[in-house]
Amino acid sequence: MPVRIQTEDFDVSAEIARLREGNPKVGAVASFVGIVRDLNEGDSVASLTLEHYPGMTEKSVEGIVAEARERWEIYDALVIHRVGTLSPLDQIVLVVVTSAHRGESFKACEFLMDYLKTRAPFWKKEQTPEGGRWVDARASDDAAAERWT
Amino acid sequence: MKPNEAQTAVVKILYFAWLREALGKAEEELVIPDGVATIGQLAAFLRARGDHWATELGDGKAVRVAVNMDMADANTPVSGGQEIAFFPPVTGG
């Protein structure tokens, strides 16, 4: 399964090993791991709760992975995104891409993250000392995704 | 088919994140009202409920919409059996 939405944590090296297992053509693996920070917009964050739209989230991320496969010569791609309540230091998201050479993997990995941030239906709610607040979409994320159009 | 099924077109509407909290509702089933043929007209119908419906779905609120799990806009046609979702701009990753 190239796309997994789950509450459980993930093991980065095990996932990378599985993705390139038995494929001697793979010469490059690029990965990105997103982590929960303890500070956002100047306030301390005690926890982060991720909501998603079951069904559409999987469908949209699969669409983004399919688009990456069309744009670059990559062998495989994996996206794991956690949902539910997470704490600072926790891993949120993993993107792994395999290819023959590094250029394709680097680009596809960044593309997948930029599109995940702007197109996949996930929403973050932070717990701060002032209470819960929904995270606002960032213009810089939209600008990052625009680079690929 | 029962006699009234042919003319009674129902859609399922979902609300997410702060919109769900502000509206106090995660989902509802709605018989498509007379005069509602597009998403824009559906949003106008929902706003006409008044109170928080008028403010949260009003102009100036960043609300996105999907029909059957694909992104849609005000001109997208509404028809029976659709799953329509209203939600804020996404903040995953």
Tell me the C-alpha distance between A96 and A78, whole Å: 5
Task: Give residue A65's pLDDT.
Answer: 97
Query: What percent of chain A has pLDDT above 70?
Result: 99
CA neighbor of A39 nearest in space, from A118, A129, A136, A141:
A129
Tell me the C-alpha distance between A82 and A88, whole Å: 14
B69 to chain A: closest CA residue: A56
Task: Give residue B7's pLDDT.
Answer: 61
Contact between A25 and A105 (Cβ < 8 Å): no
B92 lies within 8 A of chain A by CB: yes
CATH architecture classification, B10-87: Roll (3.10)
Task: Give residue A58's pLDDT.
Answer: 97
Tens digit of pLDDT for each residue in A87-111? 999 999 999 999 999 999 999 999 9
Give the ipTM of the model, two decimals please.
0.90
The three-point CA angle A127-A133-A136 to 5° equals: 125
Chain B residues touching A52 at Cβ < 8 A: 92
Task: Give residue A26's pLDDT.
Answer: 98
Task: Give residue B59's pLDDT.
Answer: 80
pLDDT lower than 70: segments of chain B: 1-7
Residue extents of the structural domains in chain B:
10-87
Tens digit of pLDDT for each residue in A35-93? 999 988 888 999 999 999 999 999 999 999 999 999 999 999 999 999 999 999 999 99
> What average pLDDT score do residues A111-133 get?
95
Query: What separation in angstroms does the CA of A49 have from each of A53, A146, B56?
Result: 14, 27, 22
Residue A97 amino acid letter: V
Tokens of A125: 């709610």
Domains and CATH numbers, chain A: 3-130 (3.90.1170.40)
Which of A34, A113, A121 is opposite residue B90, by nearest beta carbon?
Answer: A121
Chain B residues touching A134 at Cβ < 8 A: 17-18, 88, 91
